[in-house]
Structure 1
Amino acid sequence: MKDEKAVVVFSGGQDSTTCLFWALKTFKEVEAVTFNYNQRHKQEIDCAKDIASELGVKHHILDMQLLNQLAPNALTRSDIDVEEGSDGDLPTTFVPGRNLLFLSFAGVLASQVDAKHIITGVCETDFSGYPDCRDAFIKSLNVTINLSMDTNFVIHTPLMWLDKAETWKLADELSVLDFVNEKTLTCYEGIVGTGCGTCPACKLRNAGLEKYKKMMQKVDFNGE
């Protein structure tokens, strides 16, 4: 029996869309929330709108543009190049405080819509070193949000220990692999689907899909 109501932190990307489908299968009622922080790839907001509309999911868009002012980086400034981290440095795409703020506001929204579950697509396995994607951070914030609002939210992270190939596997198990592959936006250049193919997000996404396809070919070959 499906349990209660959930709010999904939703960007319209591969991970959050997979989480949205997971939530729709897991919970009785689901709403999605997308944050407008004047991000470089604003197309993700339109992508999130389109997916939520197609799935019939109530969709909230919250204005978080103050984050753009406070946290200059490659996702909030067009004059900063998208670069992977080196020598222990974080990638230029790291937005300080983003998940802290997003999940906190998702908690406020959840309290208003009577939801006890919050879902986010953060992952500690295939991530870029972002400190706010770690399991320890999520567990800590879950306690903090509950204390701040005197409630009992549960923050779910279905992808926390999955690599990108395993995330594609989950989408396939949910029977939505083609949907996720064709209709989500992960690319830092704002190109839906397989994207530009050269930015770090596209490389990670596409390498994961190729790895999953090879895994499936091996299974088919062995007749398992």
Structure 2
Amino acid sequence: MKNKDAALVVLSGGQDSTTCLLWALKNYKRVEAVSFDYNQRHVKELECAAKICEKFGVRQKIMDMSLLSELAPNSLTRAEIKVDEEAPKEGTPNSFVEGRNLLFLTYAAIYAKGLGINDIITGVSQSDFSGYPDCRNVFIKSLNATLNLAMDYEFEVITPLMWLDKEETWALADSLGGLEIIRDMTLTCYNGIMGEGCGHCPACKLRKRGYDRYMERRSQSK
């Protein structure tokens, strides 16, 4: 029998995953979090995730995935590789970590089954997927089916942000009472600067554009 009272959130410490954590806290009696240490350039991500979990009394598991950075060198795991400020005309951005969501969700599922949890929540979005193929809905659905078959267990990989753009993600955070938390306590910036970030990397540009649009819409509605 599926346990619909509990959920495991894949939490990076960024805007999207933290919004998903807030969403889970509104929709489940029991919420657990799992974060991954893959030798990312900015350990502050994990520090942010830990502080957020502490704030909400959520138990957090941090898994060692350092091998991933050796297999898939990129601008998020190598200080000497400069983050692309614009998306390439062909191929994926150099901030794409090959296999990251595949591995993270697989390990999250193994951990969830041990906890007796069926629902796994992740903050991927096809609307704002930035050229990352492992943020697409078709990938999530495919992996969900594979995980169920592989472990003979009824997982449900839930993606509250799949069809939301950044403006709508800010609106969701606000409706959950977490606008300031997302704005001030999360780290989305590829250059490791909390809150508003560096303002130059693709993640910061996307975040700021969505925030400005939402705040303008909110001010007009008052």
1:155 matches 2:120: no
CA distance in 2 between partners of 1:55 and 1:114 (Å) = 21
Q: Pick from 120, 123, 142: which aligns with 1:121?
A: 123
Instruction: Tell me the CA shift for residue 4 of structure 1.
Output: 1.6
- Letter paired with 1:58: R
- 2:35 counterpart residue number: 34
Cα distance in 2, alignment partners of residues 3 and 26 from structure 1: 10
Structure 2 residue aligned with 1:174: 176
The aligned counterpart of 1:90 is 92
Residue type at the aligned position of 1:126: D
1:102 to 98, 101, 104: 104
Output the CA distance in 2 between the equivalents of 1:169 and 1:71. 34
**Cα distance in 2, alignment partners of residues 153 and 28 from structure 1:** 18
Moved more, 20-29 or 2-11: 2-11
Q: Deviations for 1:49-69, whole angstroms, at most 9, x for unmatched residues?
A: 111011100000000000000
Worse overlay, 134-143 or 81-90: 81-90
Deviations 1:175-220 (A, max 9, x none): 1101110111111121111111111111110110001011112222
Q: Which moved more, 1:95-104 or 1:2-11?
A: 2-11
Determine the C-alpha separation between the residues in 2 that align with 1:43 and 1:55: 18
SS of equivalent to 1:61: strand
> Runs of 4 or more off by more than 3 Å in structure 1?
none
Matched, 1:73 2:71: no
CA contact (8 A) 1:4 1:116 kept: no
Once the two structures are TM-superposed, the CA of residue 89 in structure 1 deviates from its matched residue by 2.0
CA distance in 1, matches of 2:40, 2:117: 27
In the other structure, the counterpart of 1:48 is: 49
Question: Which sections of structure 1, spanning at least 5 residues, go unmatched?
Answer: none
CA RMSD of aligned residues (A): 1.1
Distance, in Å, in 2 between the alignment partners of 1:87 and 1:44 is: 29
Question: What TM-score results when the alignment is normalised by the length of structure 2?
Answer: 0.96
Aligned to 1:51, the other structure's residue is in SS state helix
Deviation of 1:141 after TM superposition, in Å, equals: 0.2
Residue type matched to 1:169 in 2? A
Q: What is the Cα deviation at residue 161 of structure 1?
A: 0.2
What corresponds to 2:209 in structure 1? 207
Picking from 98, 111, 114, the partner of 1:112 is 114
The normalised TM-score by structure 1 is: 0.95
SS in 2 for 1:68: helix
Partner of 1:133: 135
Shift of 1:48: 0.6
Q: Does 1:7 align with 2:8?
A: yes
Letter in 2 for 1:36: D
Of 181, 190, 194, 2:192 maps to 190
